[in-house]
Amino acid sequence: MSATMTVLTGIKPTGPLHIGNYLGAIRPANELARRPEYRPFLFIADYHALTLTGMRDPAEFRRYSREVAAGWLALGLDTSRTVFYRQSDIPEVFELAWILSCTTPKGLMDRAHAYKAAVQQNAEVGADPDAGVNMGLYNYPILMAADILLLRADLVPVGRDQAQHLEFARDIAQYFNAAYRPVLTLPEPLIRDDVAVIAGTDGRKMSKSYRNVIPLFAPPQELRKSVMRIVTDSSAPEEPKDPATSILFAIYREFAAPEQVEAMRERYRVGVSWGEVKEELFSLLDSFLSGPRRTYEEYMANPDRIEAILREGAERARAEARPVIEDMRRAIGRT
């Protein structure tokens, strides 16, 4: 690897951003972007979202991409250091995906987690194994590999549950390199165990599909309602409580100062009402998000500003992508 390593990550625009997106992706990516040893690339994986049948509304598809862009920008993304672009603005991604699909064995795609999960769900209800499975879902790992390999990424941040994505990208690169000649860089996973995974309001992992999220840029009254919906037990206010099992405390400690966290931990030990904790959590989140919320609303009111930033990022990304595509074309005999 070079002294300055290329780090690449993406986010799929499937709905409004929430607290889980911030803690699990936005904050860690912004922290990486500030480190001088990395060249960060961040993209909006809009065409990946097309695999979802619920993303067939063109206006919604366009709006979600802009919401993601505005959210990242409002939360401190430094575009002077980070190449920030939209996947669909990089035609080289899709050319590379096709080339890679011609050297990737079908059997590898059969083992992809998303495809296997869909087949399993169909089996549980007695449906055809491939019912509801489109080719976008099936080929998803190849497009993801193209996203990564096109920019010669050295490192890709992933959670341990996403490690297969990087394994597949490496496998796909090696199939091509073996079929022709070594052209593609093999990326390494950057697994960060310190990235927070936060439960949603119902106790399950925070996810738009579960409808249990705390939205990042909702008005204060909606933010408060979301916090008040967080599940708690039936313990009385005066009873001691365990912060290690509390969703409220898990979120609070991610946004509070160390001394606030310790003070809250002590209040749990001696007894505190869940209502008090919820009110304090709401106040903490609202204070943290009030500035980004205003910036987000300014971006959303000026879509041309978002588009200009993404176009500039796309130009920078394509300048990196073109030499890779030229290498690929020479390898296969196209030029």
Answer yes or no: do 126 and 244 share one domain. Answer: no
Instruction: Evaluate whether residue 93 is within a structural domain.
Output: yes
**Mean pLDDT lowest among 75-79, 84-88, 164-168, 196-200:** 196-200
CA 293 → CA 42, 72, 154, 278, 285, distances in Å? 21, 11, 34, 20, 11
Neighbours of 306 (CB within 10 A): 19
**Domain span holding position 269:** 217-297
- At residue 327, the pLDDT reads 97
- pLDDT class of 24 with cuts at 50, 70, 90: confident
The predicted pLDDT at position 199 comes to 92
81 with 43, same domain: the answer is yes
Query: Using one digit for the tens of pLDDT, what is the confidence trace for 312-326?
Result: 999 999 999 999 999
Read off the pLDDT band of 1 (50, 70, 90).
Answer: very low
* pLDDT tens-digit readout, 105-117: 999 999 999 999 9
CA geometry: angle 200, 202, 205, nearest 5 deg: 40
Q: Is residue 205 part of a domain?
A: no
Q: Are residues 240 and 222 in the same domain?
A: yes
Who has greater pLDDT, 288 or 52? Answer: 288
Domain match, 154 and 58 both: yes
Residue 267, pLDDT score: 97
Q: 123 and 246: one domain?
A: no
Same domain, 20 and 74: yes
- pLDDT score recorded for residue 2: 53
Question: Residue 207 domain-assigned?
Answer: no
Whether 19 and 82 map to the same domain: the answer is yes
What is the Cα–Cα distance from 243 to 216, expressed in whole angstroms?
23
Do 279 and 137 lie in one domain? The reply is no
pTM comes to 0.92
One domain, residues 81 and 128: yes
**Residues 279 and 179 placed together within one structural domain of the fold:** no
CATH code assigned at 55: 3.40.50.620
Is 211 among the domain residues? no
Reported as a single tens digit per residue, the pLDDT across 118-129 is 999 999 999 999
Residue 144 lies in a domain: yes
* Number of domains present in the structure of the chain: 2
Is residue 310 in a domain? yes
- Percent of the chain surpassing pLDDT 70: 98
**Closest listed residue to residue 41, CA positions, set 319, 243, 273:** 319
Mean pLDDT for 160-169 is: 84
Q: Check which CATH number belongs to the domain holding 223 and give it.
A: 1.10.240.10
Angle subtended at Cα 130 by Cα 127 and Cα 132, rounded to the nearest 5 degrees: 85
Same domain flag for 285 and 146: no
Q: Does residue 202 sit within a domain?
A: no
Quick one: pLDDT at residue 209?
82
- Asked whether residue 156 is assigned to any structural domain, the reply reads yes
Across the chain, mean pLDDT equals 94
Q: pLDDT tens digit string along 223-259?
A: 999 999 999 999 999 999 999 999 999 999 999 999 9
Are 166 and 226 within one domain?
A: no
